[in-house]
Amino acid sequence: MEMRDGAKLELRRQADMKKSLRSGLSSLPQPKNEYQIVMQPIQEDVEEPEEKIEEDMSDRMAREKAEEEARQQALLRKRSKVLQRELPRPPPASLELIRNSLIRADGDKSSFVPPTPIEQADEMIRKELLALLEHDNAKYPLEEIANKERKKGSKRAANGPAIPVIEDYQEDEMKSADQLIKDEAQYLREAMGHENDSLEEFVEAHTTCINDLMYFDTRNAYGLSSVAGNAEKLAALQNEFENVRSKLDDGKEKLIRLEKKVTTFTQGYEMRSKKGL
């Protein structure tokens, strides 16, 4: 009996505690359920600037030297083959002959006979050759001409002839043109039956042709001595002899002037050495 009464009291006590807890919770303010989530912005991956390492003086000088050599080599490849191989260039008289031939060709155009394709191509080549020779002689003068200009003074050299302007081709265009010339040369060798000839034979044939050339004063032009008459060859040889003798006379006068100058400088030493003896 007592156990039942104790259980009832315990249940009642728990019920009172629940009721008291519920009344206490009911007096609390109602929740608002408002939340604000703040996130830090995601930083993008920024590449850190590389620290510039100061270039060593020797490395910089080596780099600049290599760049300058590469630039000079590129300029050299754009020059004519004569300058690249340091071959002898024709004298100024040859340029004058080319100019005269072009003038005569322009005069012949007044006739009603149109030029053939070969004649047109020959004229184009001569014009291109003349422009290239004038440009090379003005921009890269021969050593003897350059020495004369230096002796005359820098002021006169600065007022020298203007350098003719020629078309500036790209390196790939130069290579393409070079290949076209090689193909044409190979075609001509095969067409003329010379594909098996050696280089020495071509050099010998070229030398023979050069030796056969002679300047005829009566024509004011070069020609082949093998087809010229005896009178023309005699006049040409006499003219060449006079030119050589004139150069010798000029050289003799120069030697006499130099001898007088040397005597002026050394006369006192000679007299002193004679008295000492």
pLDDT digits (tens, 9 = 90+) for 16-59: 888 888 877 777 777 666 667 777 777 666 565 555 667 788 88
Report pLDDT for 46.
58
224, containing H or E segment: strand 221-224
What is the C-alpha to C-alpha distance for residues 126 and 23, in angstroms, rounded to an integer? 121
Mean pLDDT of 116-140: 88
pLDDT at 110 over 70: no
Query: Which range among 167-181, 214-228, 229-243 shows the weakest confidence by mean pLDDT?
Result: 214-228
What is the C-alpha to C-alpha distance for residues 166 and 80, in angstroms, rounded to an integer? 12
pTM: 0.51
Report pLDDT for 252.
87
Strands (E), the chain: 213-216, 221-224
Report pLDDT for 154.
53
Question: In the beta sheet, which residues pair with residue 213?
Answer: 224
Mean pLDDT of 178-200: 89
Identify which of 85, 74, 89, 177 has the alpha carbon closest to the alpha carbon of residue 133: 89
Q: How far apart are the first and last CA of the chain?
A: 172
Please state, rounded to an integer, the average pLDDT across all residues of the chain. 80
